Structure 1
Amino acid sequence: MSLLTPQRPTEGAHTHSAATMVPDQSRAERRASFDPADFAVPHGREEEWRFTPVDRLGPFFRDEAAGADADWHEELPEGVTLSTMPVADWQALGVPRPQDRAAAVAAARSGGVAVVDVPAEAELTEPVRLRLSGDGSDLVHGHLLVRVGRFARATVVLEHAGTADCSEVLTVLAGDGSDVTLVSVQEWDDSAHHLAQHDVVVGRDATVRHIAVTLGGGVVRLNTNASYTGPGGSFEGLGVYFADAGQHLEHRLFVDHEAPHCRSNVEYKGALQGETARTVWVGDVLIRAAAEGTDTYELNRNLILTDGARADSVPNLEIETGEIEGAGHASATGRFDDEQLFYLMARGIPEDDARRLVVRGFFASVVARIGVPEVQERLMEAIERELAGEVAA
């Protein structure tokens, strides 16, 4: 049995019709290759590119070395190592293949892979901190592999900032029984563009959380893919984004349930302000025939703060077996709740403070689950700054 179910649009949501929300093929049939030549340069009419402003991203699709480097800084807890490996050795590990031309070019032309290794059974008390920043418009190819050994516990915080255009490939290999949290923070300047493919491979009985925090960048498109190597694995994808005028922030997820008795949960929340603010969220979940006992759910919520902003939200669920624990999704896009604002103001809270309280409450369920206090604090401070700018405008 194969069931592809687009979410019914909610009232006031900015979506496309049900007919156009259904992909033209099973998600399992999408092309994946290490060779950039296997992907045509996108023109924007393809299913996987139809929301993206490809006319602003030409350099990302050129099959050539970028010739630019970004500033790189790392803070490694005791026992964690940083090394490099050739791209061919990375491919030989059996890692997931790039799924679009930009990712294939970034992987092939990176010149090498930075490798962060967390040893087996390690229990890190401090996060691994990695920061990539740029101060120019030249394209940077970033290529990172994070390997976490069996039964290890680790948190990795990857930060992006500055003005560079960045094309990135990140692979996370979570060993059996490990517990891994990866936080990717995008705080680019408005002139920066960032395309990335993040692949999370969940080992047997492992628990992995991938958290995307996107607060800046002219165009940011983050593809996050999760797969499982054995039963008992758990993947949680959390995301928070805030788009201003002129920004295009796009998050795409693909959870590939191939192993039995695994679970996944995805929750993304975004806010938009400014007449040309644009966000896109696409969530694909595939439950293959062998993945009996799967339990999965995905949720996306968008809050429109000003006129002219647009949010597209497209959840897709494809099921090939009826022997599952549960599967579902939900999506909604709506305007700021004036009734909540009136309720708070009627109790003596000034309007600006009331608006901040409503927005903070909207994000609270996701922010509280990030689990990295420094990231949670920075996120709420950034949201406060965004709101202050919107009020001032």
Structure 2
Amino acid sequence: MTAATTQNLSTDHSRATADAAHTHGDSHGGGTAPEASRADRATSFVLADFPVPTGREEDWRFSPVDRLQKIFAGELHGTGPVVTVEADDDVRVERVGRDDERLGKVGAPGDRAAAAAWESFGEALVVTAPKNHVDVRHTMISVNGDAAAAEEPSAQHILLVAEQFSESLVVLDHRGAAQLSQTVEIDVRDGASLTVVSVQDWADGAVHLSSHRAKVGRDARLKHIVVTFGGDVVRITPDAAFTAPGGDVELLGLYFTDAGQHQEHRLFVDHAVEKCKSRATYKGALQGEGAHSVWVGDVLIRKEAEGTDTYELNRNLVLTEGARADSVPNLEIETGEIEGAGHASATGRFDDEQLFYLRSRGIPEADARRLVVRGFFAELINQIGVPLVQERLMAAIEAELDRTMEAAR
């Protein structure tokens, strides 16, 4: 079963594409060569094993590779952003050398930027929620860049560990200026429940490539939330692999892409064992000339993964001309003995009927548009579970809408 569709949303500048591939060797839209099975995906800790991307590779075909050459070069020894941590007293916070035996155990890098980050970092941050821990307050990891961090690219490595039967929430808060290639390892052990919220609220001009690699143990649960607003180029690649039955992964994301920004989110969920569940829901809004968002969702259900239950959804709301959203859900199934598997992708403008309904009840057009966008994002924002973060995100959305209204005048 194979499907591939392309939808043009205007006669001039605004475009959206949606592709879906379901079996080995299915081709994607855009004139690229057929992609091999995700089961054969190359990974390595060695930078030289990954050629410098040209933009013709499947993993990089949507990316502005010309703006990433400094990171691809692999010399990531600039002054990095400052990292500070606030956590419960019994949460262990350590700064360790790259020779610490706990590092690199979640998974190997899957592209050149991730391999460059692995080879270049000197010190890693390790945050551990101990066995049976239950959060009194969430852990806040603040990553703050400045002018020095923006001059030359740097590497960063973070390991988050949720030991058995712990319940915790970690917020990664990225702000300021930087050129950063980052690795976030996430180890969710048997019976643990971990929520990770990664906020990319960079200043204009920031470049941030981040590889999030997670493994989920028996009856463990991971909720992974990505929020992207700022920066020049932001590319987040969350990977999740199940290591024992009963695991549950929920991947949520929202993004607001402005003029000239490239925001890319590439997900990979590896169902390699039986009776696990995954859900992915990402929503984005775009506005301004040259705004470009990319969402790629890959789910692999291996032949051993009987009883799998998975679904992925991406929705994009195009607010102005000149913006482009690329959406590519991929589902690869190697066994028919599953509970369920599916995906959906939709990209469009404001619903004229919805706007007409609100305006017919006396609501001005500007306020009606705000209500539509707020409603579009509200469900995901309410699932974050950190009131201060939720309030900040709603304020950021309001600021973006102010720009839209100003440009329309």
Decide whether aligned partners of structure 1 residues 231 and 17 sit closer, same or farther in structure 2, where only a CA change above 3 A counts: closer
Question: Which range moved further: 110-119 or 87-96?
Answer: 87-96
- The TM-score normalised by the length of structure 2 is 0.92
Task: Indicate whether 1:132 and 2:143 are aligned.
Answer: yes
State the Cα deviation string for residues 171-228 of structure 1 (Å, max 9, x = none). Answer: 0101110110000000011210100100111111001000000011100000000001
Gapped regions of structure 2 (runs ≥ 5)? 10-14, 21-26
- The TM-score normalised by the length of structure 1 is 0.96
CA distance in 2, matches of 1:70, 1:90: 24
Equivalent residues of 1:86, 1:112 under 8 A apart: yes
Equivalent residues of 1:6, 1:314 under 8 A apart: no
Aligned-partner SS, 2:100: helix
Name the residue aligned to 1:282. Answer: 296
State the Cα deviation string for residues 99-123 of structure 1 (Å, max 9, x = none). Answer: 0111111111101321011100000
Name the residue aligned to 2:118. Answer: 107
Equivalent residues of 1:121, 1:152 under 8 A apart: yes
CA distance in 2, matches of 1:222, 1:249: 8
Task: Indicate whether 1:168 and 2:176 are aligned.
Answer: no
Of the three residues 139, 152, 157, the one matched with 1:143 is: 157
Aligned-partner SS, 1:122: coil
Aligned-partner SS, 2:380: helix
Decide whether aligned partners of structure 1 residues 7 and 119 sit closer, same or farther in structure 2, where only a CA change above 3 A counts: farther
Of the three residues 381, 384, 399, the one matched with 1:370 is: 384
Q: CA RMSD in A?
A: 1.6
Name the residue aligned to 2:333. Answer: 319
Aligned-partner SS, 2:229: strand
State the Cα deviation string for residues 262-295 of structure 1 (Å, max 9, x = none). Answer: 0000000000000211000000000001000000
Name the residue aligned to 1:78. Answer: 89
1:333 deviation in Å?
Answer: 0.5
Equivalent residues of 1:206, 1:233 under 8 A apart: yes
CA distance in 2, matches of 1:189, 1:305: 22
CA distance in 2, matches of 1:48, 1:243: 20
Question: Which range moved further: 250-259 or 333-342?
Answer: 333-342
Q: Which amino acid aligns with 2:107?
A: P
Name the residue aligned to 1:157. Answer: 171
Q: Which amino acid aligns with 1:132?
A: V
Identity rate of aligned residues, in percent?
A: 54
Task: Indicate whether 1:308 and 2:322 are aligned.
Answer: yes
Question: Which range moved further: 147-156 or 356-365?
Answer: 356-365
Q: How do 1:27-46 residues align onto structure 2 when only pairs under 5 Å count? A: 27-46=38-57
CA distance in 1, matches of 2:309, 2:343: 12
Q: Which amino acid aligns with 1:201?
A: K
1:85 deviation in Å?
Answer: 3.0
1:9 deviation in Å?
Answer: 4.5
1:47 deviation in Å?
Answer: 0.5
Task: Indicate whether 1:381 and 2:389 are aligned.
Answer: no
Aligned-partner SS, 1:355: helix
CA distance in 1, matches of 2:18, 2:161: 39
Name the residue aligned to 2:12. Answer: none
Task: Indicate whether 1:335 and 2:349 are aligned.
Answer: yes
Decide whether aligned partners of structure 1 residues 17 and 28 sit closer, same or farther in structure 2, where only a CA change above 3 A counts: closer
CA distance in 2, matches of 1:17, 1:62: 31
Name the residue aligned to 1:61. Answer: 72
Aligned-partner SS, 2:16: coil
Task: Indicate whether 1:96 and 2:107 are aligned.
Answer: yes
CA distance in 1, matches of 2:76, 2:261: 27
State the Cα deviation string for residues 119-161 of structure 1 (Å, max 9, x = none). Answer: 0000002110001111122212110000111000000000111
Equivalent residues of 2:355, 2:369 under 8 A apart: yes
Name the residue aligned to 2:311. Answer: 297
Q: How many residues align?
A: 390
Aligned-partner SS, 2:363: coil
Equivalent residues of 1:7, 1:316 under 8 A apart: no
Aligned-partner SS, 1:146: strand
1:16 deviation in Å?
Answer: 6.3
Name the residue aligned to 1:20. Answer: 28
CA distance in 2, matches of 1:90, 1:386: 44
Gapped regions of structure 1 (runs ≥ 5)? none
Equivalent residues of 1:245, 1:273 under 8 A apart: yes
Decide whether aligned partners of structure 1 residues 344 and 268 sit closer, same or farther in structure 2, where only a CA change above 3 A counts: same
1:87 deviation in Å?
Answer: 2.7
Equivalent residues of 1:9, 1:332 under 8 A apart: no
Equivalent residues of 2:76, 2:153 under 8 A apart: no
1:163 deviation in Å?
Answer: 1.1
Of the three residues 181, 203, 206, the one matched with 1:189 is: 203
CA distance in 2, matches of 1:116, 1:28: 30
Equivalent residues of 2:222, 2:249 under 8 A apart: yes
Aligned-partner SS, 1:20: coil
CA distance in 1, matches of 2:88, 2:243: 27
Q: Which amino acid aligns with 1:220?
A: V
Name the residue aligned to 1:120. Answer: 131
CA distance in 2, matches of 1:130, 1:100: 25
CA distance in 2, matches of 1:375, 1:197: 22
